[in-house]
Structure formats: structure tokens, C-alpha cells
Copies of this chain bind each other. A is one copy, B any other.
């Protein structure tokens, strides 16, 4: 799908990058932004990430053929409620949220008439704000769509084609499966990174090297955004923390000279699996 009029609701780092990315591949697409602060809209306009900016979502979705919700996950439902009466007949709606079960369920329960498709482009940054937007943020990254039996197949293909057009590699899974797997590779690592920073003495933080800074980079993300993600996905996160604890139990049992070979195998296996995850 190549939208002619794209509505981006929320023009922060992700929404701004989306506008820049679309305009870099389809210069004839008109990008309409919604933001609740005028200064953000002005910044997005100045960067060329949007062509028009509104502080009213109803105005921002008018006549749009594709609407992308780019607000924090806790506001996605409210945004859908606000735009529902104003969508064009054939409009397709998707989002960029890091959790999918809640918003997909809400869209189906409260707005069965909207052609909504859950998306999670796995791109972002620990930075926040449209000033950090990048036109190539989505390129070569994975995007997961989360269709259900209720999802309009034409809308699904349109949304997948849209992300593919920005250079993304598409995967599909159910909303529940998405939330479980993404918890393991994204929400849990964030929780662990934050815990790793939190437990440090000041004297230790004074000695950190590149390894520590890379391992904890994600913990630099916005606390409010991540709070919402953690709470929305809290059951999966608690289960994932439990499984990490089991993995640490295994390691602790190997911390003796008698288990030297098994410890090496455990570390080698981790290094190999991490290496395998690098391949696209």
C-alpha cells in the first residue's frame, strides 16, 4: 500500500521518523500529524516530517487512507475512541505499540467497524522527541503484524505492504504470542538493564566501561512509556523474570571449579546463540 494521505497520530521520535521515512520513499504522499502540543507540531513541520499539523485528532484523520497511531501504549485506546467517528470509509488504521493484545482486543470489542491491524515496528531509540527522528529508523528492522480471525485481510496486506515499502522485514503472529515473545526479547531486557543500574553502588558506576553502557543502554528510555508497557504486559513480564531467575539458578550451580567444563559450555552456547540472532 502506498497511501496518498497518511495520518500520523503522535509526532515524537517514532511518528516523526515515520513521516520522514514515508516522504523519502513517496514524495507525493501527504503526511498529516497530530500532536497535543503546538511546539511539537511546529518542530515536526520544520523538519519536514509532516506537511500539516493539528492538535485535534479528528482533523488529523480526515480523508486519510492510512492512519498510524504513534502515541504511548496507554493512550492508544483513547485515541481510537476519539478518531472512530471521523475516519474515512475505506481508511485503514494501524499502530506502532510495543504491546498488542490490549489494543487489538479493544479495537475489536469497541470498534468492530474500523479496519484496524496491529503492528509493532521493532525500531526505536532510548531517546525521545521528534528532534531525534531519523528517516532510516525502520529500514532493515523487523515489523510484526498481529492479525486475528476478525482482521480484514485486505487491510492486513495493505499495512504489511506499507511497512515493507519502508524497508522492514515482516513477521506475523497472534497478539498474545507477540506479547509473550516480545516480552522476552524487549521488555525483560529493559527490566534487567534497569535493575542492573539500580543495584550499583556509586563507586561502581564510576568504573563502567563500554560493555556496561551497551548492556544498559535501553534502561535510558523514558520511564513513563516503559511503565505503561510493563503494566500492560505485566503477566508476561513476571513470567519472564521467573524464567530468567531459573537461568541464573543454572549458572550459579556451575560456579565451581568442578563444573569448569560445563560452565564453559554454557557460556559458549550463549555466545553462539547470540551470534545466530545477529543474522537477518
Name the residue on B nearest A224 (C-beta).
Answer: B264
Dominant secondary structure of chain A at its interface with chain B: helix
The answer for the CA separation of A74 and B236 in the assembled complex, in Å, is 40
Contacts A192-B192, A255-B238 known; A209 to B222 CB distance under 8 Å?
no
Closest chain-B Cβ to A97's Cβ sits at a distance in Å of 14
Task: Determine the chain B residues whose CB is within 8 A of the CB of A255 once the complex forms.
Answer: 230-231, 234, 237-238
Closest chain-B Cβ to A182's Cβ sits at a distance in Å of 7
In contact, A263 and B188 (Cβ under 8 angstroms)? no
Name the residue on B nearest A222 (C-beta).
Answer: B271
Q: Check A24 for interface membership: any CB of B closer than 8 A.
A: no
Name the residue on B nearest A180 (C-beta).
Answer: B204
In contact, B274 and A219 (Cβ under 8 angstroms)? yes
The answer for the CA separation of A243 and B240 in the assembled complex, in Å, is 18
Closest chain-B Cβ to A145's Cβ sits at a distance in Å of 12
Contacts A201-B184, A255-B230 known; A266 to B144 CB distance under 8 Å?
no
Q: Check A248 for interface membership: any CB of B closer than 8 A.
A: yes
Closest chain-B Cβ to A78's Cβ sits at a distance in Å of 16
Q: Check A27 for interface membership: any CB of B closer than 8 A.
A: no
Task: Determine the chain B residues whose CB is within 8 A of the CB of A107 once the complex forms.
Answer: none
In contact, A215 and B213 (Cβ under 8 angstroms)? no
Q: Check A47 for interface membership: any CB of B closer than 8 A.
A: no
Task: Determine the chain B residues whose CB is within 8 A of the CB of A234 once the complex forms.
Answer: 255-256
Q: Quick one: which of B204, B227, B277 contacts A205, CB cutoff 8 A?
A: B277
In contact, A184 and B206 (Cβ under 8 angstroms)? no
In contact, B277 and A197 (Cβ under 8 angstroms)? yes
In contact, B219 and A270 (Cβ under 8 angstroms)? yes
Contacts A230-B263, A277-B205 known; A193 to B215 CB distance under 8 Å?
yes
In contact, B241 and A277 (Cβ under 8 angstroms)? no
In contact, B200 and A184 (Cβ under 8 angstroms)? yes
Task: Determine the chain B residues whose CB is within 8 A of the CB of A209 once the complex forms.
Answer: 122-124, 141-142, 185-186
Q: Check A267 for interface membership: any CB of B closer than 8 A.
A: yes
Residues 258-277 of A at the B interface (beta carbon under 8 Å): 260, 263-271, 273-277
Q: Check A153 for interface membership: any CB of B closer than 8 A.
A: no
What 10 additional pairs, Cβ within 8 angstroms, besides A215-B216, A234-B256? A126-B271, A195-B247, A195-B248, A205-B277, A208-B277, A213-B278, A219-B271, A220-B274, A231-B260, A241-B248
